[in-house]
Amino acid sequence: HGFESLDVCDYERSFLYKHGRPPGFQHCAAFGDPHIRTFHDDFHTCRVEGSWPLLDNDYLFVQATSSPVAKGSNATVTSKLTIIFKNMKECIDQKVYQAELDNVPAAFQDGSVNGGARPGGSSLAIWERSPGRHAGRQLSFSIRAAEEVAGAFTEEQDLQLPRGRGRVPAETARALCREMLPVEDVYFQSCVFDVVTSGDANFTMAARGALEDARLFLPDAEKLHIFQ
């Protein structure tokens, strides 16, 4: 019946109508101390304390705050995440979501659970997948984004990622991580790094969760494991 009759806030249907094919998707994630898997399947460990932008494009802004895992430790964890869903014409009002270690709400900052009063407000919604379930004392971030969305940024928004002594022996850390991770890839090595530097075995759950998200979100299963 023509494009006008489609819900323009349904990205996948609109893209299919315009291009005659479904959109492609990309995945990125931040977890652990913190480790970053980028949209282009690069892998970085960012030992940084303070707040830093993780993602900035025409649709989303994500800021992460890293803090020491314990007093005197040189290991850090993501202790706070701020996500801004930017205004989108008739689709959504700008919405801000904020999570901290002891406060992971199932609503935006204004108390709403959708994109607001605009006609397409329901195209943005919050779901709580596992109420009350937490994986240790750290936050993780994982996103599956359309290629067009992931690449929608200006030169000023282009982000360049920045680049201890352990209290757990490396072999002990490897044994703990091996229980949770099937392949000795970057998720496994990141797990070992985190457990060694922090002394906290809960980091194994963060790495396992990041691997499960990648398995769910990556369009190409052959890219699941990174070896570098």
pLDDT for residue 167 is more than 70? no
Closest among 89, 93, 65, 68 to 79, alpha carbons compared: 65
Q: What is the pLDDT of residues 195-227, one digit of tens each?
A: 988 888 889 999 999 999 999 999 999 999 998
pLDDT for residue 159 is more than 70? no
Indicate the residue type of 211: L
Question: 25 in helix, strand or coil?
Answer: strand
In this structure, which topology does domain 11-159 adopt according to CATH?
A: Protein Transport Mog1p; Chain A (3.40.1000)
Q: What is the DSSP string of 158-189?
A: ---------SS-HHHHHHHHHHH-SS-SHHHH
| Domains in the chain: boundaries | 11-159
Tokens of residue 222, six digits: 């052959």
Closest among 147, 151, 150, 149 to 24, alpha carbons compared: 147
Q: Give the angle subtended at the CA of 226 by the CAs of 55 and 216, to the nearest 5°.
A: 65
The answer to which of 75-84, 100-109, 129-138, 162-171 has the lowest mean pLDDT is: 162-171
Residue 200: per-residue pLDDT: 85
Tokens of residue 176, six digits: 């703990």
Cβ 65 vs Cβ 139: under 8 Å: no
Cβ 176 vs Cβ 204: under 8 Å: yes
Q: What is the pLDDT of residues 9-35, one digit of tens each?
A: 889 998 999 999 999 999 999 998 889
pLDDT for residue 70 is more than 70? yes
Kindly tell me the burial class for residue 226, based on how many C-beta atoms sit within 10 Å of its own C-beta (0-12, 13-18, 19 or more).
Answer: middle
Query: Mean pLDDT across the chain, nearest whole number?
Result: 87
Taking residues 111-137, what's their average pLDDT?
A: 86
Helices (H), the chain: 11-19, 147-150, 170-180, 186-198, 203-217
- Could you give the percent of the chain with pLDDT greater than 90? 52
Residue 90: per-residue pLDDT: 82
pLDDT for residue 175 is more than 50? yes
Percent of residues in the chain assigned helix, strand, coil, to nearest 5 = 30, 25, 45
The answer to which of 67-76, 93-102, 213-222 has the lowest mean pLDDT is: 67-76
Cβ 167 vs Cβ 42: under 8 Å: no
Residue 41 DSSP code: S
Residue 162: per-residue pLDDT: 45
Residue 75: per-residue pLDDT: 81
Residue 174: per-residue pLDDT: 93
Residue 107: per-residue pLDDT: 95
Indicate the residue type of 123: S
Residue 30 φ then ψ, to 5° = -135, 130
Closest among 190, 214, 210, 194 to 202, alpha carbons compared: 194
Taking residues 106-115, what's their average pLDDT?
A: 95
